[in-house]
Amino acid sequence: METNRTKQATDRTLDAVGSRLKQLRQRRDITLINLAEETGISTSTLSRLEAGLRRPTLEQLLPLAEAYGVTLDELVDAPPTGDPRINMRPLNTKDGSTVVPLTRRPGGIQAYKIILPAGRDDAPPILRTHEGFDWAFVLSGKLRLVLGERDLILEPGEAAEFDTRTPHWFGATSSGPVEFLSLIGKQGERAHIRAGTQEPATND
């Protein structure tokens, strides 16, 4: 019963995304053409999303959140779920993916935990582009990352960083679901990982 209520709440949230997207764009006085150039999403797709004729996918929501300078849960106006002391507002998408926003402030680098269901190894990837940089770290499972002409499999503990203007796609393999962290920043913002510190050399 609880699962059904949660699914119904998620469906209502996704069905209301269209009007939310249109309000955000109009408040910022951005045209569909300019938004398409910034996100890499076609004007016709953006128009259908705003009209509620199409539900957004994760690959569409992330660049839109970046373009509007809001977190993913603010973009879709998701209702609070789970422990109110944490209130991370997970978002379940139509394709079975779960996205948990880990940052609250708009702008800057945004962090997400993403869980993708098991995929099909023979499914053709749909490559997308948008402004910014993405850094992904695999927690469990295997993450397939198609980056331009490269087709990579990332295992737990492995990470990848890339310019999202390069055509890319990511998904789980047929071996099972994958859970990973994603840090996404606008153009010029990159995630820098420091493995350790080293004392500066001194001259005796």
Q: How confident is the model at residue 186 (pLDDT cuts 50, 70, 90)?
A: low
Encoded tokens for 139: 């927690």
pLDDT in tens, 64-107: 887 877 777 777 766 555 554 445 566 777 777 888 888 766 66
Per-position DSSP letters for 102-167, written without gaps between them:
---SSSS-EEEEEEE----TTSPP--B--SSEEEEEEEES-EEEEETTEEEEEPTT-EEEEETTS-
Distance CA(85)–CA(82), nearest Å, equals: 9
Share the mean pLDDT of the chain: 78
pLDDT score for 30: 86
Per cent of the chain over pLDDT 70 is: 73
